[in-house]
Amino acid sequence: MSRNRSYKALAISILTLVFSVFSSSATFAQHEHESHAEATHTHGEAEEFNPGQTILHHVADEHQWHLATIGESHMAIPLPVMLYTPTRGFNVYSSSEFYHGSGEHDGFTLHHEHFTSEDGSTVYDFSITKNVASLIISVILLIVIFFTVRNAYAKRQGKAPKGIQSAMEPFVIFIRDEVAKNYIGEKHYRRFLPYLLTVFFFIWINNMLGLLPGAANVTGNIAVTLTLAILTFIIVNFNGRKTYWTHIFAMPGVPKWMLIVMTPVEIVGMMMKPFSLMVRLFANVTAGHIILLSLLSLIFIFKSAALSVIVGPFTVFMTMIELLVAVLQAYIFTVLTASYIGAAVEEHHHDDHH
């Protein structure tokens, strides 16, 4: 058992080093790509390295999946661009049409990842962007992993877990026993366990995928965290019992005249819960990426390869912290969601005695 743990620790360390090296290469490649693009638009004028622009471009969404730059060649996966305008209807293109030359094609212009039409009409963008493509990949991974685990349980009934089944079982049991049961209660936890497991593994897998070289920053996109927060808000309030709503609009033991002040405060508090979920996940994941890229940018700012001897260990350390944060943020989001659900479905018997 101790030998297996040693092997796992060694594998994690090796992967961390690989992630660090490739992240450095990806950052340099991204800088090369941006410098080349700027040179194209300014007819060959030299541009200084802009760390802010490079970092923001890395954490932002885009309409192609850029991988690397080799010489004058830019390795990128083109993604479908789907645009609708009231005047021209629905149009589908390859994103490669907009990333060469001036960014114009067939009457549409791509500027800072936003499309405009030459006739001035409103453009509705339904494109498969880098983040959307990464979401699709993560969903496929989740389906494959859990269908594999389900099939393993069906085939190995009464036997010890094996392979991926053995790897996933401790996390599932932990979320069930330490999160769902503790915060929601034995009576109601089963109804909400599938959602809690989905949220936990969805966030964790996307956090891990975001650490890969050239990967998308899905959980660092506020639209994704907003969607997760809204889902939690809907589940909490649609399952709220009478006691839950009474404590918001008519708190027991509070004088009626005080409700004029307390009820709006409780409503604001109810709205702030999903807001805090949204901002916490978005801010922590994005901040981690920015810190990593900022450290790597120091090499290019000072134009010193010797600085990499100092920056390298810090980057490895920060990458290891990011691996911890990846699961920690998934856990925090799941725990807070479970606590909000537990407060909504709980019956406060002490109120009756009071």
Q: Which of 223, 213, 326, 335 is nearest to 273 (CA)?
A: 335
Say whether both 103 and 231 belong to one domain. no
**Predicted pLDDT of residue 38:** 42
> Cα separations (Å) of 144 from 140, 147, 150, 151, 289?
6, 5, 10, 11, 28
Residue 14: strand, helix, or coil: helix
Q: Which residues pair with 108 in a beta bridge?
A: 105, 117
CA gap 221, 219 in Å, rounded: 5
201 located within any domain:
yes
Q: How many domains does the chain have?
A: 2
Which of the listed residues 93, 127, 161 is the one where a domain comes to its end? 127
Average pLDDT on 115-135 reads: 91
On whether both 122 and 239 belong to a single domain, the answer is no
| 159 and 289 in a common domain | yes
Selection from 140, 149, 293 nearest residue 202 by Cα? 140
* Neighbouring C-beta atoms of residue 81, cutoff 10 Å: 24
Range of the domain at 105: 80-127
Average pLDDT over residues 286-313: 80
CA 187 to CA 342: how far, in whole Å? 11
Cα separation, 222 vs 57, whole angstroms: 15
For 211-220, what is each residue's pLDDT tens digit?
A: 888 788 899 8
Taking CA atoms, 101 is separated from 40, 56, 128, 300, in Å, by 7, 22, 22, 26
Q: Quick one: pLDDT at residue 72?
A: 63
**Is 307 found in the same domain as 176?**
yes
Residue 316 confidence class, pLDDT cut points 50, 70, 90:
confident
Residue 253 has what pLDDT?
Answer: 78
Is 33 inside any structural domain? Answer: no
CA distances from 300 to 25, 242, 295 (A): 12, 60, 10
Percent of the residues in the chain that have a pLDDT greater than 70, as a whole number: 82
Query: The tokens of 105 are what?
Result: 């094609």
**pLDDT per residue as tens digits for the range 167-203:** 999 999 999 999 999 999 888 999 999 999 999 999 9
- Mean pLDDT of all residues in 38-46: 41
Contact 232, 274 (CB under 8 A): yes
Whether 2 is in a domain gets the answer no
Strand partners, 68: 75
Neighbours of 56 (CB within 10 A): 12
Average pLDDT over the chain reads 80
Are the C-beta atoms of residues 82 and 128 closer than 8 Å to each other? yes
95, 192, 342 from 80: Cα distances, Å: 6, 36, 42
Q: End of a domain among 70, 92, 127?
A: 127
The CA R_g of the chain, rounded to the nearest whole Å, is 25
Q: Do residue 220 and residue 106 come from a single domain? A: no
For residue range 250-262, what is the model confidence (pLDDT) as tens digits?
777 778 888 888 8
Q: Mean pLDDT, to the nearest integer, of 96-104?
A: 82
For the chain, the distance separating the N- and C-terminal CA atoms, rounded to the nearest angstrom, is 54
- For residues 227 and 99, which has the higher predicted lDDT (pLDDT)? 227
How many residues make up the chain in this entry? 354
pLDDT category at 126 given cuts 50, 70, 90 is very high
Asked if residue 53 is part of any domain, the answer here is: no
pTM assigned to the model: 0.80
Percent over 90 (pLDDT), the chain: 36
Helix axis angle for 130-155 and 189-209, nearest 10°, is 130
Which residue in 316, 317, 334 sits closest to 24, CA to CA? 316
Does residue 19 sit within a domain? no
The arithmetic mean of pLDDT across residues 146-171, rounded, is: 87
Residue 6 resides in a domain: no
Q: How confident is the model at residue 263 (pLDDT cuts 50, 70, 90)?
A: confident
CA distances from 66 to 55, 129, 152, 158, 245 (A): 14, 11, 37, 47, 49
Q: Are residues 103 and 183 in the same domain?
A: no
Better-predicted residue by pLDDT, 217 or 17: 217
Residue 227 lies in a domain: yes
Residues 122 and 137 in one domain: no
* pLDDT for 47: 56
* pLDDT above 50 for 324: yes
- Contact (CB, 8 A) for 289 and 30: no
Residue 147: inside a domain: yes
Nearest to 113 by CA among 159, 61, 176: 61
Mean pLDDT value of segment 23-52: 45
Evaluate if residue 29 carries a pLDDT over 70.
no
Give the residue-averaged pLDDT of 306-328. Answer: 85
Q: What is the pLDDT of residue 70?
A: 66
Give the pLDDT of residue 69: 64
pLDDT exceeds 90 at position 308 = no
In contact, 67 and 76? CB cutoff 8 Å:
yes
Same domain, 179 and 121: no
54-99 pLDDT, tens digit per residue, is 777 778 888 888 777 665 667 888 899 999 999 989 999 988 888 8
